[in-house]
Chain A
Amino acid sequence: MVPPSSSTPPVAHRASAEWTEADAPILTRTLGRAWAVPGNLVRHRALWLAGARRELSARLSGTVLGKLWPVLQPLALFAVYYTLFARVFGMGFPSQADGSDAATGVYLFLGVVTWSAFAESLTRGTLAFTERGELLKRAAFPAEVLPLQTIIAQQILMLVGLAAFVAVSSLAGIWPLPGAAVICVPLIFVLQALFTLGLCLVFATLHALLRDTQHFVGVLATLWMFATPIFWIPSAAVLPGVEPFLPWLQWNPMHAFVSCWRQALMSQAPSEAFSAGLLESMLHATVWAAVSLCSGSFLFACGARRLPDEV
């Protein structure tokens, strides 16, 4: 027998005695639902934390090396970029002329790792609702936690890779440890998660309604990657042809995030690689995260009522 609960009564999602109306004013209802998104994320953190943990263990289970992969893969990646771009192609920063071509490798590596965390989160997060349709149909819980758990899992993998790189590269004498700027990392982590979540809410909702979204997001991610300084250096001194496009970069949110990561983790940042300092980039990132989360919550709120019927 289950004894009567001695603790507080279970929190119900609809414990209030409010009417659920079919024809409530659409604007009030939608705005109210959008407004509830941040609160739901905080209140149900145990849910998405557990979900992120599950996704991580699912990703690593069935492999021989298991937990080593999140470490090994970025290190291999760095080795490739370092050898290929810096050594073979001779790509480099003029300001680092003292033979420290490692800077190019580090620059590319940080860009690729943080970008792929975003791109993977975006493409996987787009499927967050449709892949868990059965759950959405059967359990009454805030669906917005679903993309977040994917994002958090992805970003934790990214952090592990970054930490492994920082440790190995400083031990091997390739690149020094990051400076005090590293304290910004948790904030950048949160901002990027919220930024990605906003986009995922848009695309996951659209994907539930129309399955073309997934393909669209795939194309978008590729285009976006080349529009962001991941594999190139946004400096006329390095790439003369890029100059006319530089003013537009401030409208690329991912430029702000990638700049944040690079500046927080590269202690000897080559000055020509960054048009804005760390603090300014963080400010941009904050604004983008807020814009993305607001629009994402709104679009999600527009479609939220239809989700269980469409997935």
Chain B
Amino acid sequence: MREPALETQQLGKSYRRYRSSAHKALELASLGWIRGHEPFWALRDVTLSLAPGAALGLIGRNGAGKSTLLRLLAGTSAPSAGRLRVRGPVASLLELGAGFHLDLTGRENIFLAGLLLGLSPREMREKESSIAEFSELGEFLDQPVRTYSSGMGMRLGFAIAASVEPKVLLIDEVFAVGDQAFQKKCVDRVLEFRKRGTTLVLCSHSLYDVRQICDQAAWIDAGRVRALGPAVDVTNDYASFARESERALGAGGGMGDGAKGNRAPGAPQVLGATVQDSAGQPVQEIESGAGIQVEVRWRDPAPQRGLAIGVGFMRQDRTLVSAMGTHLDGVAVSGANGRALLELPKLCLLAGTFDVLIWLFDENGVHRYEEFVVPERLVVRARTKEVGLVRLDHRWRVEAEGS
């Protein structure tokens, strides 16, 4: 087995919070014997191991500790606990362009950045033309960086870091700036690095980018790794968490607690509903494309009348993805007690967390007696990098001419 390209063990970083400058002075003067600070742990107990060529995406809220972790890996910040090891040259794209000297021209900054990365002026001269070309800055390259737009600064920074041919590349929120065409160029470039075996750590708020580029992801929350695993799973978990906390903020409570609304006396009632896999076992998590069935049990005090049962899937952002009903499919329902089973042989939802809604209507589907929400949310996992709500059945056929 090959040695990991990047390893951390119980890695932690704490910053010192002093109550006042006097506390700090006292601590310094006493050579640390008198403690004047409170430690603030920005990162704690991070244990990671990345094989050469692997790509790890770091996700989490602002201030969760992602950038702190990147800085530790880049070696610009020293760990306060645990240890880390990085094999091979590291290049980092930490908040691009921040290291530039604004009064120097782009070209001068190329040299300066190269020196900071540990390259000799000669090596930088060799790379200069390709950096200039990749950055697409043209004659702006000989203008002071002060005159650049943020996108231009980013282009230059990315072009420089890309030229270093690092073994380990650390990227912090790069794809946030720049126009579409250049973003694509950067992503292409990063994917090209991956193909050549560069180990990658990418910090991004774009779950899409993380899924596209990374095979693994770590969800950092309040300085700790909350989830670590395949990028698709972790981003799914994080996405549903993010939606949930968003909804908790917005709605202050919400659904998921069974029957809703005012039920008139004597109206039909949903006794219970479960989501099951195709074998009939209750499930809360399924793979996209798997088969499920929804079981609905009802009671009707007036069994002579006809009913209609509806089932719908609603994403957490309140998008009703799909809804179906017995009245729409011409299935008759009636009786004092009953059990209906809706079979979905292939649930083509893409990754996400969904509420399953059950409705009881009159036989024409006009009047709604009840809306019932299945208490357990349905979590759909997707192994694909496709994005959107549903996976449409598809196949490709490409015809091309010329080269």
Known: A46-B115, A46-B121. A22 touches B82 (CB 8 A): yes
Q: Which residues of B contact A18 (CB under 8 A)?
A: 85
Q: Mark B141-167, 1 if CB is under 8 A from A, else 0.
A: 000000000000000000100111111
Interface residues of B in 143-200 (CB under 8 A from A): 159, 162-167
Known: A22-B82, A46-B115. A12 touches B90 (CB 8 A): yes
Interface residues of B in 98-142 (CB under 8 A from A): 98-99, 101, 103-104, 111-112, 115-123, 126-127, 130-131, 134
Question: Across the interface, do B98 and A10 meet the contact criterion of CB distance under 8 Å?
Answer: no
- A223 at the binding interface (Cβ < 8 Å): no
Interface residues of A in 1-20 (CB under 8 A from B): 1-15, 17-20
Known: A15-B88, A46-B115. A210 touches B28 (CB 8 A): yes
Interface majority SS on A: helix, strand, loop or mixed? loop
Query: Considering only CB atoms and an 8 Å cut-off, how many residues of chain B contact the other chain?
Result: 59
Roughly how many angstroms separate A193 CA and B104 CA in the complex, as a whole number?
Answer: 26
- B3 at the binding interface (Cβ < 8 Å): yes
Partner of B3, one of A15, A17, A134, A306: A17
Please choose the segment from A135-143, A172-180, A237-245, A261-269 that sits at the chain B interface, where 4 or more of its residues have CB less than 8 A away. Answer: A135-143
Known: A12-B89, A50-B111, A135-B99. A210 touches B130 (CB 8 A): no
- A308 at the binding interface (Cβ < 8 Å): yes
Question: Across the interface, do A10 and B71 meet the contact criterion of CB distance under 8 Å?
Answer: no
Q: Which residues of A contact B78 (CB under 8 A)?
A: 20, 22, 305-306, 308
- A98 at the binding interface (Cβ < 8 Å): no
Interface centre among A8, A22, A23 (most CB of B within 10 A): A22
- A309 at the binding interface (Cβ < 8 Å): yes
Which of A's residues lie within 8 Å of B, judged by CB? Answer: 1-15, 17-23, 44, 46-47, 50, 54, 58, 61, 134-141, 206, 209-212, 305-306, 308-309
Could you list 24 examples of A-B contacts with CB < 8 Å?
A3-B130, A5-B127, A6-B126, A7-B126, A9-B89, A10-B89, A10-B123, A10-B165, A11-B120, A12-B89, A12-B90, A14-B75, A14-B90, A19-B84, A19-B85, A50-B115, A50-B121, A138-B92, A139-B117, A141-B118, A308-B71, A308-B76, A308-B77, A309-B15
Which of B's residues lie within 8 Å of A, judged by CB? Answer: 3, 11-12, 15-16, 21, 24-25, 28, 71, 74-92, 94-95, 98-99, 101, 103-104, 111-112, 115-123, 126-127, 130-131, 134, 159, 162-167
